[in-house]
Structure 1
Amino acid sequence: MSAPTTARLLPGAPVAEAVLADVRERVAALRAHGIAPGLATILVGDDDASAGYIRIKQRTAAELGFESFHEHLPATASQADLHAVIRAFGAEQGAHALLVQHPLPGHLDHEAALAVMDPEQDVDGMHPLNLGRLAAGLPGPVPCTPAGIEALLAHHEIPVAGRHVVILGRGATLGRPLALLLSQKRPTADAAVTVVHSHVPDWDRHTRDADILVAAVGVPGIVRPEHVKPGAVVVGGGVRYAGRRLLSDVDDAVADVAGAITPRVGGVGPTTVAMLFRNAVECAERATRAS
Protein backbone atom coordinates (compact mmCIF):
# COMPACT_ATOMS: atom_id res chain seq x y z
CA MET A 1 0.00 0.00 0.00
CA SER A 2 1.36 3.45 -0.91
CA ALA A 3 1.92 6.08 1.79
CA PRO A 4 -0.70 8.81 2.16
CA THR A 5 -0.13 11.98 0.18
CA THR A 6 0.53 15.07 2.29
CA ALA A 7 -1.69 18.00 1.36
CA ARG A 8 -0.38 21.17 -0.25
CA LEU A 9 -0.05 23.88 2.42
CA LEU A 10 -1.89 27.20 1.99
CA PRO A 11 0.02 29.67 4.19
CA GLY A 12 -1.53 33.01 5.01
CA ALA A 13 1.67 35.06 5.26
CA PRO A 14 2.14 35.69 1.51
CA VAL A 15 -1.51 36.77 1.27
CA ALA A 16 -1.13 39.14 4.21
CA GLU A 17 2.09 40.60 2.80
CA ALA A 18 0.39 41.42 -0.50
CA VAL A 19 -2.62 43.00 1.22
CA LEU A 20 -0.47 45.04 3.61
CA ALA A 21 1.77 46.25 0.77
CA ASP A 22 -1.35 47.66 -0.89
CA VAL A 23 -2.49 49.20 2.40
CA ARG A 24 0.91 50.84 2.89
CA GLU A 25 0.68 52.47 -0.55
CA ARG A 26 -2.84 53.74 0.14
CA VAL A 27 -1.80 55.16 3.51
CA ALA A 28 1.13 56.94 1.84
CA ALA A 29 -1.25 58.39 -0.77
CA LEU A 30 -3.52 59.75 1.97
CA ARG A 31 -0.59 61.24 3.84
CA ALA A 32 0.63 62.87 0.63
CA HIS A 33 -2.68 64.76 0.65
CA GLY A 34 -2.27 65.80 4.29
CA ILE A 35 -4.50 63.09 5.77
CA ALA A 36 -3.11 60.85 8.53
CA PRO A 37 -5.37 57.76 8.72
CA GLY A 38 -6.13 56.83 12.32
CA LEU A 39 -7.04 53.56 14.04
CA ALA A 40 -8.66 53.76 17.48
CA THR A 41 -8.74 50.75 19.80
CA ILE A 42 -10.66 50.09 23.01
CA LEU A 43 -9.59 47.47 25.54
CA VAL A 44 -11.73 46.64 28.56
CA GLY A 45 -10.12 44.72 31.41
CA ASP A 46 -6.70 43.11 31.78
CA ASP A 47 -6.89 39.92 29.72
CA ASP A 48 -3.31 39.18 28.64
CA ALA A 49 -4.25 37.74 25.24
CA SER A 50 -6.48 40.72 24.39
CA ALA A 51 -3.79 43.18 25.50
CA GLY A 52 -1.30 41.31 23.31
CA TYR A 53 -3.59 41.54 20.30
CA ILE A 54 -3.93 45.29 20.84
CA ARG A 55 -0.14 45.70 21.00
CA ILE A 56 0.27 43.77 17.74
CA LYS A 57 -2.34 45.93 16.03
CA GLN A 58 -0.79 49.15 17.32
CA ARG A 59 2.67 48.04 16.18
CA THR A 60 1.39 47.06 12.74
CA ALA A 61 -0.53 50.35 12.50
CA ALA A 62 2.68 52.29 13.15
CA GLU A 63 4.59 50.26 10.57
CA LEU A 64 1.93 51.01 7.96
CA GLY A 65 1.78 54.73 8.73
CA PHE A 66 -1.44 54.91 10.76
CA GLU A 67 -1.93 57.15 13.76
CA SER A 68 -3.04 55.20 16.85
CA PHE A 69 -5.61 56.17 19.46
CA HIS A 70 -6.30 53.96 22.46
CA GLU A 71 -8.50 53.80 25.54
CA HIS A 72 -8.03 51.15 28.24
CA LEU A 73 -11.05 50.80 30.51
CA PRO A 74 -11.00 48.80 33.77
CA ALA A 75 -12.78 45.45 33.93
CA THR A 76 -15.37 47.11 36.17
CA ALA A 77 -16.39 49.60 33.45
CA SER A 78 -20.13 49.83 32.82
CA GLN A 79 -21.92 49.56 29.50
CA ALA A 80 -22.47 53.33 29.69
CA ASP A 81 -18.72 53.87 30.20
CA LEU A 82 -17.95 51.82 27.11
CA HIS A 83 -20.57 53.61 25.03
CA ALA A 84 -19.20 56.99 26.12
CA VAL A 85 -15.71 56.09 24.84
CA ILE A 86 -17.12 54.77 21.55
CA ARG A 87 -19.04 58.01 21.04
CA ALA A 88 -15.96 60.07 21.92
CA PHE A 89 -13.94 58.27 19.26
CA GLY A 90 -16.84 58.79 16.87
CA ALA A 91 -16.41 62.53 17.32
CA GLU A 92 -12.61 62.39 17.01
CA GLN A 93 -11.78 63.55 13.48
CA GLY A 94 -8.48 61.70 13.32
CA ALA A 95 -9.94 58.34 14.37
CA HIS A 96 -11.20 57.03 11.02
CA ALA A 97 -11.48 53.38 12.12
CA LEU A 98 -12.51 51.91 15.47
CA LEU A 99 -11.97 48.52 17.07
CA VAL A 100 -13.56 47.29 20.31
CA GLN A 101 -11.38 44.35 21.36
CA HIS A 102 -13.40 41.18 21.87
CA PRO A 103 -14.16 39.36 24.13
CA LEU A 104 -15.44 41.91 26.61
CA PRO A 105 -15.93 41.15 30.32
CA GLY A 106 -19.04 39.04 30.84
CA HIS A 107 -21.26 41.83 32.12
CA LEU A 108 -20.84 43.88 28.92
CA ASP A 109 -22.84 43.47 25.71
CA HIS A 110 -20.63 43.52 22.61
CA GLU A 111 -23.57 43.74 20.18
CA ALA A 112 -24.97 46.76 22.02
CA ALA A 113 -21.56 48.40 21.83
CA LEU A 114 -21.39 47.76 18.08
CA ALA A 115 -24.80 49.37 17.61
CA VAL A 116 -23.50 52.59 19.20
CA MET A 117 -20.53 52.74 16.82
CA ASP A 118 -20.55 54.82 13.65
CA PRO A 119 -20.78 52.12 10.93
CA GLU A 120 -18.31 54.11 8.82
CA GLN A 121 -15.67 53.53 11.53
CA ASP A 122 -16.41 49.81 11.88
CA VAL A 123 -13.04 48.18 11.16
CA ASP A 124 -14.33 44.68 12.03
CA GLY A 125 -17.28 44.85 9.60
CA MET A 126 -19.63 43.63 12.32
CA HIS A 127 -21.99 46.61 12.72
CA PRO A 128 -25.57 45.53 11.85
CA LEU A 129 -25.67 48.04 8.98
CA ASN A 130 -22.46 46.66 7.49
CA LEU A 131 -23.67 43.08 7.77
CA GLY A 132 -26.79 44.24 5.94
CA ARG A 133 -24.62 45.80 3.24
CA LEU A 134 -22.80 42.48 2.87
CA ALA A 135 -26.10 40.61 2.55
CA ALA A 136 -27.25 43.07 -0.13
CA GLY A 137 -23.95 42.94 -2.00
CA LEU A 138 -23.23 46.61 -1.31
CA PRO A 139 -19.77 48.06 -0.59
CA GLY A 140 -18.71 48.46 3.02
CA PRO A 141 -16.41 46.94 5.64
CA VAL A 142 -16.41 43.13 5.40
CA PRO A 143 -15.77 40.91 8.47
CA CYS A 144 -12.04 40.32 8.54
CA THR A 145 -11.74 36.53 8.79
CA PRO A 146 -14.21 35.80 5.95
CA ALA A 147 -12.52 38.41 3.74
CA GLY A 148 -9.15 36.88 4.59
CA ILE A 149 -10.33 33.39 3.65
CA GLU A 150 -11.60 34.58 0.26
CA ALA A 151 -8.28 36.34 -0.35
CA LEU A 152 -6.29 33.27 0.75
CA LEU A 153 -8.14 30.98 -1.67
CA ALA A 154 -7.72 33.49 -4.50
CA HIS A 155 -4.01 34.01 -3.80
CA HIS A 156 -3.31 30.27 -3.90
CA GLU A 157 -5.40 29.93 -7.08
CA ILE A 158 -7.99 27.63 -5.52
CA PRO A 159 -11.03 27.68 -7.84
CA VAL A 160 -14.17 28.65 -5.95
CA ALA A 161 -16.72 29.55 -8.62
CA GLY A 162 -19.22 26.74 -9.18
CA ARG A 163 -17.70 24.51 -6.50
CA HIS A 164 -19.39 23.20 -3.36
CA VAL A 165 -18.21 25.06 -0.27
CA VAL A 166 -19.32 23.63 3.07
CA ILE A 167 -18.92 25.83 6.14
CA LEU A 168 -19.02 23.98 9.45
CA GLY A 169 -20.15 26.72 11.82
CA ARG A 170 -22.79 29.44 11.71
CA GLY A 171 -21.28 32.15 13.91
CA ALA A 172 -21.83 35.85 13.22
CA THR A 173 -18.12 36.60 12.85
CA LEU A 174 -17.22 33.82 10.41
CA GLY A 175 -19.69 31.18 9.25
CA ARG A 176 -22.67 33.34 8.30
CA PRO A 177 -20.77 36.25 6.68
CA LEU A 178 -18.46 33.85 4.83
CA ALA A 179 -21.50 32.12 3.32
CA LEU A 180 -22.80 35.48 2.10
CA LEU A 181 -19.39 36.43 0.73
CA LEU A 182 -18.60 33.23 -1.18
CA SER A 183 -22.07 32.94 -2.71
CA GLN A 184 -21.86 36.37 -4.35
CA LYS A 185 -21.30 36.65 -8.10
CA ARG A 186 -17.60 37.46 -8.28
CA PRO A 187 -14.64 35.63 -9.88
CA THR A 188 -13.21 34.74 -6.46
CA ALA A 189 -16.60 33.58 -5.10
CA ASP A 190 -19.77 32.42 -6.95
CA ALA A 191 -19.86 29.09 -5.09
CA ALA A 192 -22.65 26.74 -4.05
CA VAL A 193 -22.51 27.19 -0.27
CA THR A 194 -23.87 24.92 2.45
CA VAL A 195 -23.79 26.02 6.09
CA VAL A 196 -23.97 23.25 8.67
CA HIS A 197 -23.21 23.21 12.38
CA SER A 198 -22.22 20.83 15.12
CA HIS A 199 -25.80 20.46 16.41
CA VAL A 200 -26.79 18.73 13.16
CA PRO A 201 -26.51 15.01 14.03
CA ASP A 202 -25.09 14.00 10.64
CA TRP A 203 -23.01 17.10 9.90
CA ASP A 204 -20.19 14.93 8.57
CA ARG A 205 -22.46 13.76 5.72
CA HIS A 206 -22.31 17.32 4.42
CA THR A 207 -18.61 17.92 5.02
CA ARG A 208 -17.70 14.75 3.10
CA ASP A 209 -19.41 16.26 0.05
CA ALA A 210 -17.40 19.49 0.12
CA ASP A 211 -14.94 20.54 -2.56
CA ILE A 212 -13.85 23.24 -0.11
CA LEU A 213 -14.44 22.73 3.61
CA VAL A 214 -14.14 25.62 6.05
CA ALA A 215 -14.12 24.63 9.72
CA ALA A 216 -15.45 27.53 11.80
CA VAL A 217 -16.74 26.03 15.05
CA GLY A 218 -14.01 26.73 17.60
CA VAL A 219 -13.90 23.10 18.75
CA PRO A 220 -10.32 21.76 18.54
CA GLY A 221 -9.91 18.73 16.31
CA ILE A 222 -13.60 18.39 15.45
CA VAL A 223 -12.78 17.78 11.76
CA ARG A 224 -11.00 14.47 11.33
CA PRO A 225 -9.85 12.63 8.18
CA GLU A 226 -13.07 10.59 7.95
CA HIS A 227 -15.07 13.84 7.71
CA VAL A 228 -13.26 15.04 4.56
CA LYS A 229 -13.58 14.09 0.92
CA PRO A 230 -10.19 12.92 -0.41
CA GLY A 231 -8.53 15.74 -2.33
CA ALA A 232 -10.73 18.48 -0.85
CA VAL A 233 -9.43 21.91 0.14
CA VAL A 234 -9.64 22.37 3.93
CA VAL A 235 -9.48 25.74 5.69
CA GLY A 236 -9.14 25.86 9.47
CA GLY A 237 -10.99 29.02 10.45
CA GLY A 238 -12.02 28.18 14.02
CA VAL A 239 -9.38 28.15 16.76
CA ARG A 240 -9.04 27.90 20.52
CA TYR A 241 -6.05 28.42 22.78
CA ALA A 242 -4.74 25.94 25.36
CA GLY A 243 -2.37 28.20 27.26
CA ARG A 244 -0.18 29.63 24.50
CA ARG A 245 -0.80 26.75 22.08
CA LEU A 246 -3.12 27.45 19.18
CA LEU A 247 -5.57 24.60 18.54
CA SER A 248 -7.37 24.35 15.21
CA ASP A 249 -10.79 22.89 14.43
CA VAL A 250 -8.93 20.69 11.93
CA ASP A 251 -7.05 17.65 13.23
CA ASP A 252 -3.46 17.47 11.93
CA ALA A 253 -4.16 14.05 10.37
CA VAL A 254 -6.55 15.67 7.85
CA ALA A 255 -3.44 16.67 5.87
CA ASP A 256 -3.13 13.02 4.82
CA VAL A 257 -6.55 13.15 3.10
CA ALA A 258 -6.95 16.71 1.87
CA GLY A 259 -5.58 18.02 -1.40
CA ALA A 260 -4.72 21.40 0.15
CA ILE A 261 -4.95 22.69 3.71
CA THR A 262 -4.17 25.77 5.78
CA PRO A 263 -1.44 25.27 8.39
CA ARG A 264 -2.48 25.20 12.06
CA VAL A 265 -0.30 28.27 12.71
CA GLY A 266 0.09 30.96 10.05
CA GLY A 267 -2.98 30.12 8.01
CA VAL A 268 -6.09 32.26 8.42
CA GLY A 269 -4.64 34.36 11.28
CA PRO A 270 -2.31 36.60 9.23
CA THR A 271 -4.96 37.23 6.60
CA THR A 272 -7.47 38.29 9.27
CA VAL A 273 -5.09 40.95 10.61
CA ALA A 274 -4.30 42.15 7.08
CA MET A 275 -7.97 42.56 6.26
CA LEU A 276 -8.49 44.61 9.41
CA PHE A 277 -5.98 47.13 8.09
CA ARG A 278 -7.50 47.03 4.62
CA ASN A 279 -10.82 47.94 6.24
CA ALA A 280 -9.07 50.66 8.25
CA VAL A 281 -7.55 52.40 5.24
CA GLU A 282 -10.88 52.15 3.42
CA CYS A 283 -12.56 53.84 6.41
CA ALA A 284 -10.08 56.71 6.04
CA GLU A 285 -10.61 56.90 2.28
CA ARG A 286 -14.38 57.05 2.67
CA ALA A 287 -14.09 59.78 5.32
CA THR A 288 -11.86 61.76 2.97
CA ARG A 289 -14.31 61.50 0.10
CA ALA A 290 -17.17 62.54 2.38
CA SER A 291 -15.39 65.63 3.72
Structure 2
Amino acid sequence: MSLPDDSRYLKGGPVAQRIIAAVREDAVIATAEGFPPKLVSITVGDTAAVDVYVRNQRAKAALAGIAFEERRFPADITAGELEAAIHGLNADPRVTGIIIQRPVPAHIPVKTLQAAVHPLKDAEGMHPASIGNIVYNQL
Protein backbone atom coordinates (compact mmCIF):
# COMPACT_ATOMS: atom_id res chain seq x y z
CA MET A 1 0.00 0.00 0.00
CA SER A 2 1.40 3.37 -0.92
CA LEU A 3 0.57 6.62 0.79
CA PRO A 4 -0.16 9.92 -0.95
CA ASP A 5 2.81 12.27 -1.24
CA ASP A 6 1.35 14.73 1.26
CA SER A 7 0.79 12.14 3.99
CA ARG A 8 2.92 11.50 7.03
CA TYR A 9 2.95 9.24 10.04
CA LEU A 10 1.98 10.66 13.38
CA LYS A 11 3.82 9.32 16.39
CA GLY A 12 1.38 9.45 19.29
CA GLY A 13 3.96 9.18 22.08
CA PRO A 14 5.54 12.62 21.63
CA VAL A 15 2.12 14.23 21.19
CA ALA A 16 0.87 12.58 24.39
CA GLN A 17 3.98 13.72 26.27
CA ARG A 18 3.39 17.33 25.20
CA ILE A 19 -0.25 17.18 26.25
CA ILE A 20 0.60 15.63 29.63
CA ALA A 21 3.28 18.28 30.23
CA ALA A 22 0.82 21.08 29.42
CA VAL A 23 -1.82 19.56 31.71
CA ARG A 24 0.79 19.19 34.46
CA GLU A 25 1.58 22.92 34.21
CA ASP A 26 -2.12 23.73 34.51
CA ALA A 27 -2.44 21.32 37.45
CA VAL A 28 0.43 23.05 39.27
CA ILE A 29 -1.23 26.44 38.77
CA ALA A 30 -4.66 25.16 39.84
CA THR A 31 -3.16 23.54 42.94
CA ALA A 32 -1.29 26.74 43.84
CA GLU A 33 -4.58 28.63 43.55
CA GLY A 34 -6.27 26.17 45.93
CA PHE A 35 -8.02 24.02 43.34
CA PRO A 36 -6.07 20.75 43.10
CA PRO A 37 -7.42 18.64 40.23
CA LYS A 38 -8.90 15.26 41.08
CA LEU A 39 -10.27 12.64 38.70
CA VAL A 40 -12.69 10.02 40.04
CA SER A 41 -13.12 6.79 38.11
CA ILE A 42 -16.36 4.84 38.53
CA THR A 43 -16.27 1.08 37.97
CA VAL A 44 -19.33 -1.13 38.33
CA GLY A 45 -18.88 -4.84 38.91
CA ASP A 46 -15.77 -6.94 38.64
CA THR A 47 -14.58 -6.38 35.09
CA ALA A 48 -10.98 -7.45 34.63
CA ALA A 49 -10.74 -5.69 31.26
CA VAL A 50 -11.49 -2.38 32.96
CA ASP A 51 -8.59 -2.81 35.38
CA VAL A 52 -6.05 -2.22 32.60
CA TYR A 53 -7.72 1.06 31.62
CA VAL A 54 -7.99 2.22 35.22
CA ARG A 55 -4.34 1.39 35.88
CA ASN A 56 -3.29 3.38 32.79
CA GLN A 57 -5.55 6.30 33.70
CA ARG A 58 -4.09 6.36 37.21
CA ALA A 59 -0.54 6.39 35.81
CA LYS A 60 -1.28 9.17 33.30
CA ALA A 61 -3.06 11.22 35.96
CA ALA A 62 0.00 10.91 38.21
CA LEU A 63 2.26 12.09 35.38
CA ALA A 64 -0.05 15.05 34.85
CA GLY A 65 -0.17 15.96 38.54
CA ILE A 66 -3.82 15.00 38.94
CA ALA A 67 -5.07 13.10 41.98
CA PHE A 68 -6.87 9.91 41.00
CA GLU A 69 -9.47 7.98 42.94
CA GLU A 70 -11.25 4.82 41.90
CA ARG A 71 -14.74 4.11 43.18
CA ARG A 72 -15.90 0.53 42.70
CA PHE A 73 -19.53 -0.41 43.02
CA PRO A 74 -21.04 -3.91 43.13
CA ALA A 75 -22.58 -5.30 39.94
CA ASP A 76 -26.00 -5.47 41.57
CA ILE A 77 -26.17 -1.75 42.40
CA THR A 78 -29.29 -0.08 41.02
CA ALA A 79 -29.14 2.65 38.41
CA GLY A 80 -30.72 5.01 40.93
CA GLU A 81 -28.09 4.29 43.57
CA LEU A 82 -25.32 4.84 41.04
CA GLU A 83 -26.90 8.08 39.82
CA ALA A 84 -27.09 9.28 43.43
CA ALA A 85 -23.38 8.51 43.87
CA ILE A 86 -22.60 10.48 40.70
CA HIS A 87 -24.68 13.42 41.91
CA GLY A 88 -22.68 13.32 45.14
CA LEU A 89 -19.45 13.55 43.15
CA ASN A 90 -20.93 16.42 41.11
CA ALA A 91 -21.59 18.29 44.35
CA ASP A 92 -18.13 17.59 45.81
CA PRO A 93 -15.90 20.62 45.10
CA ARG A 94 -12.79 18.45 45.54
CA VAL A 95 -13.74 16.38 42.48
CA THR A 96 -12.90 18.11 39.21
CA GLY A 97 -13.45 15.22 36.80
CA ILE A 98 -15.48 12.02 36.58
CA ILE A 99 -15.00 9.10 34.23
CA ILE A 100 -17.35 6.12 33.96
CA GLN A 101 -15.64 2.88 33.04
CA ARG A 102 -17.43 0.71 30.52
CA PRO A 103 -18.89 -1.79 30.22
CA VAL A 104 -21.45 -1.48 32.98
CA PRO A 105 -23.94 -4.25 33.83
CA ALA A 106 -26.82 -4.58 31.36
CA HIS A 107 -29.44 -3.39 33.86
CA ILE A 108 -27.79 0.04 34.08
CA PRO A 109 -28.35 2.35 31.10
CA VAL A 110 -24.94 3.90 30.45
CA LYS A 111 -26.49 6.93 28.71
CA THR A 112 -28.36 7.74 31.91
CA LEU A 113 -25.07 7.64 33.83
CA GLN A 114 -23.34 9.82 31.27
CA ALA A 115 -26.16 12.35 31.51
CA ALA A 116 -25.88 12.30 35.32
CA VAL A 117 -22.27 13.53 35.23
CA HIS A 118 -22.19 17.34 35.34
CA PRO A 119 -20.88 18.64 32.00
CA LEU A 120 -18.10 20.58 33.75
CA LYS A 121 -16.89 17.37 35.41
CA ASP A 122 -17.31 15.17 32.34
CA ALA A 123 -13.73 14.05 31.72
CA GLU A 124 -14.69 11.98 28.67
CA GLY A 125 -16.99 14.45 26.96
CA MET A 126 -19.86 11.93 26.94
CA HIS A 127 -22.58 14.09 28.51
CA PRO A 128 -25.14 15.14 25.86
CA ALA A 129 -24.19 18.81 26.39
CA SER A 130 -20.50 17.99 25.99
CA ILE A 131 -21.13 16.13 22.76
CA GLY A 132 -23.15 19.08 21.46
CA ASN A 133 -20.33 21.46 22.33
CA ILE A 134 -17.88 19.23 20.48
CA VAL A 135 -20.13 19.06 17.42
CA TYR A 136 -20.57 22.83 17.36
CA ASN A 137 -16.90 23.47 18.19
CA GLN A 138 -17.79 25.35 21.37
CA LEU A 139 -15.11 24.06 23.69
Question: TM-score, normalization: structure 1?
Answer: 0.44
Q: Is 2:34 the partner of 1:41?
A: no
Change (3 A) 1:34 1:8: same
Conservation of the 8 A alpha-carbon contact between 1:90 and 1:121: yes
Q: How far apart, in 1, do the equivalents of 2:64 and 2:116 lie? A: 28
Q: Is 2:115 the partner of 1:115?
A: yes
Shift of 1:8: 5.4
Q: How far apart, in 2, do the equivalents of 1:61 and 1:137 lie? A: 26
Q: How far apart, in 2, do the equivalents of 1:125 and 1:35 lie? A: 21
Amino acid at match of 1:125: G
Conservation of the 8 A alpha-carbon contact between 2:119 and 2:130: yes
Equivalence for 1:180: none
Equivalence for 1:52: 52
Q: Deviations over 1:240-273 (max 9, x none)?
A: xxxxxxxxxxxxxxxxxxxxxxxxxxxxxxxxxx
Equivalence for 2:88: 88
Equivalence for 1:133: 133
Shift of 1:68: 2.0
Which structure 1 residue ranges, 4+ long, deviate > 4 Å from structure 2? 4-8
Q: Which runs of 5+ in 2 are unaligned?
A: none
Amino acid at match of 1:87: H
| Greater share of residues in helix | 2
Q: Deviations over 1:100-146 (max 9, x none)?
A: 1112112211101111111110111111111122233312xxxxxxx
Figure out how many residues of one structure are paired with residues of the other and give that number: 136
Instruction: Select the structure of larger CA radius of gyration.
Output: 1
SS at 1:42's partner residue? Answer: strand
1:219-238 mapped onto 2 (5 Å cutoff): none
Q: How far apart, in 1, do the equivalents of 2:62 and 2:136 lie? A: 34
SS at 2:72's partner residue? Answer: strand
Conservation of the 8 A alpha-carbon contact between 1:38 and 1:97: yes
Q: Deviations over 1:144-178 (max 9, x none)?
A: xxxxxxxxxxxxxxxxxxxxxxxxxxxxxxxxxxx
1:1-291 mapped onto 2 (5 Å cutoff): 9-139=9-139
SS at 1:68's partner residue? Answer: strand
Conservation of the 8 A alpha-carbon contact between 2:50 and 2:102: yes
Shift of 1:63: 2.5
Amino acid at match of 2:128: P
Shift of 1:5: 5.3
SS at 2:34's partner residue? Answer: coil
Equivalence for 1:208: none
Amino acid at match of 1:14: P
Question: TM-score, normalization: structure 2?
Answer: 0.88
Q: How far apart, in 1, do the equivalents of 2:119 and 2:82 lie? A: 16
- What is the identity percentage for the equivalent residue pairs of Structure 1 and Structure 2? 31
SS at 1:43's partner residue? Answer: strand
Conservation of the 8 A alpha-carbon contact between 1:69 and 1:95: no
Taking only aligned residues, the RMSD between alpha carbons, in angstroms, comes to 1.8
Q: How far apart, in 2, do the equivalents of 1:115 and 1:8 lie? A: 38
Amino acid at match of 2:84: A
